[in-house]
Structure formats: C-alpha cells, structure tokens
Amino acid sequence: MGKAELKRGRGERTTLHDVATKAGVSAITVSRALREPEKVTPELRSRILQLVEEMSYVPDQAARALASRHNSTFGVLVPSLSNRAVIGLMQGIEERVRDTTFRIQYANTHNCVQEERRQVRLLLSQNTAGIVLGGLEGLDDLRETIERANCPIIQVVDVGLPTPGTVIALDHFEAAAAATRHLIACGYRRIALMGATMAERSRRRTEGYSLAMHEAGLFDPGLIHHENATSSTQMGSRMLHRAISIAPDLDGVFCQNDDIALGVLFEARRMGKRVPDDFGICGYNDLDFSAVMEPPLTTIRTPLFEIGYRAADMMIRAADGKPAPQQVINLGFELIERRTTRRLPQ
C-alpha cells in the first residue's frame, strides 16, 4: 500500500489503533514507542515512527488529558528567555522531551513574584503534567501551592532553598565562595563582585562571595555591584568603569555570569590593565565562548544541561505513573582555572 493510500479521508483522524493495526502490534506498544522509547527495540520503534509519519498520526491530546488527568504539557518558568544560562537549562529539557509526545510551555516571569505566582496557578488550572521552576522569587507565596499541587513541581534554582518537593540544582553559595577563594589564593585582594538582577541565584552567590571575603578579612560592601537588568557584555564593561572610579586599587573581579566577565575583560584592556598579571577575572557558568576568549576565562562550570535533562526525565516518569520520592539532588559545580587568573609560585 502506498503512502497516499495510507492517509484517511478529509476530516477522518488517524488513531493510535490504526497505527498499531498497520504495525501488527498492540496500541500499548505504539504508545510505549512514542512515550518511553527505551522500552522497545530500535528496529520496532523506527518502523512505528515511519508509520506515524506516513499515516499522519497526531496524538489526541484532549483525549489523553481526560484519560490520564494531565494535558501532556510541561510548564517551565524561567526568569528570562534571553539569558544564556537559562538557554542551557532549556536545551537539557528539550533534549529529554524530544521523541516523546510531551510538549513544553515556557513562561517568562521577569523575576516578578506576582507573575511567578500567576503562571504557576495558570499551569495547574490547565492540568499540566509537571512544572519546572527555573526562577523562584516568591517561595513563601508558592509554598502551599507547591505542597498541594497534583503534578510534580521541580525546583532547579538552588539546593539551599527550603523548597517543598523535588530539587535538582547546585549550591550557588558554595560555588561563589569557591570562586572568590580562588581569586584570593591567586593573590588578588581588592576583589569586586559584579552581577545582574538580585534574583535568588544572585543573592546566594553574593552571600557566598561575602563569606569568603569576610574569612580573609577583605570584605568591603563598596565592592559589590549589581544592576537590575539582564546580564550582558555591555553591563560588564559599564560596571568595571564605574567600579574603578570608586575603588582605583581594584585588582580582581568575580562576575556572576560569563557575559559580564567578557565585558570586564574588554574594559580592563582599554584601561591598560594586564590580565592576569595585575588584574584577575573569574566568571560563572562556563558558557561556550569562555574557553576561546583571549585569554581564556577562569570560571565556575555549572551543569545547566544536565539539570534540565534530569528535571524533564523525572517529570516524564512521574507523568507515566512512576514518580520518584521527593528528594534534593545536588549536581555540583567545577572551578575551571584558565588564564584570566594567575597561579602563584609555591
């Protein structure tokens, strides 16, 4: 039978049973091939996917929602859709959801407590299959909602936040403290902190930086700089220019994002500063350009892709009736030492 013969008449919807009959398997097997591909052989799944394409099969999401009590959509709340770090998280989520029948609905909360609360309640009212909280500014406002939710809600902001439910993240406090201690160990003393909006991650990093500076007897609140905007290269350049005007003896910077660190490097060079000889820079997130900068950027590597992938995997399993116990999963971080910081002789 040719491809044209496989298609049904106008207005007639190809069903899961149609695909199963043509494949010579049960409807459950077809459903499993689409939703849990690891449970069928690659050959069978390839044959089913070919038939799905040829027969123009489109899952009936409304019927599925009635049958399973969720709408096969995962809600993902993020503080910004333009932040490079958020994009890494989204890529992990989409990689896991690809080749399944689940969909992703993104919502940009703009670091706004009210918008965050509104979006969570809207998603829950739509019988969503699960929610990833990629920003969490209103924890107190959302605590009861999270506890009563009829779907998995996974927090991917920080393992140190007292959030009910499941957490898959890293400890931004410890990561920032490690970055600051590295700069101190390299011999820098007047170390500034530069970051964007004071969202929850930024607050945790600021606290980690402050602790490390206090430990070394170097803390100065005048060295902390934030701007209420999305991080950018321009922000880093602007911040360093302002910071130097306030503290001319500045000799190091911990940047809360690699975008900012790149701008700091550009501005430091314009000012004639030698990096890393007399001026050190440490970034955060290890974005794709960090290793190819000149000099390459010392930074904190965060497992953004893996966080997104693990969160999506956990939601898929829960939606398919295999929820994991609530837990806190710390995926850690890594200090990547490159050439924007110096190594002192032992």
Q: H or E element: which one contains 184?
A: helix 172-185
253, 281 contact by CB (below 8 A): yes
Say if residue 345 is exposed, middle or buried (CB neighbours under 10 Å; 0-12, 13-18, 19+).
exposed
Pick from 229, 244, 268: nearest CA to 192: 244
Mean pLDDT, range 212-222, rounded to an integer: 98
What's the number of CA atoms in the CB half-sphere (13 Å) around residue 117? 12
Considering only CA atoms, give the Rg of the chain: 24
Which of 291 and 320 is assigned the larger pLDDT?
A: 291
User: pLDDT, tens digit, for every residue of 159-176?
Assistant: 998 888 899 999 999 999
Beta partners for residue 144, in sequence order: none
List the alpha helices (DSSP H) in 190-340: 200-215, 233-246, 258-270, 304-319
pLDDT at position 343: 76
User: pLDDT, tens digit, for every residue of 247-261?
Assistant: 999 999 999 999 999
pLDDT over 90 at 125, yes or no? no
pLDDT at position 257: 95
User: pLDDT, tens digit, for every residue of 274-292?
Assistant: 999 999 999 999 999 999 9
* Residue 70, both tokens: 């969720």
* 68-77, 81-90, 217-226, 337-346 — most confident range: 217-226
Which of 222 and 19 is assigned the larger pLDDT?
A: 222
Q: Which residues of 111-140 are buried (b: 16+ CB within 10 A; e: fewer)?
A: beeebbbebbeebbeebbbbbbbbbbbbbe
Q: What is the rounded distance in angstroms from the CA atom of residue 143 to the CA atom of residue 165?
A: 10
What's the predicted TM-score (pTM) here? 0.79
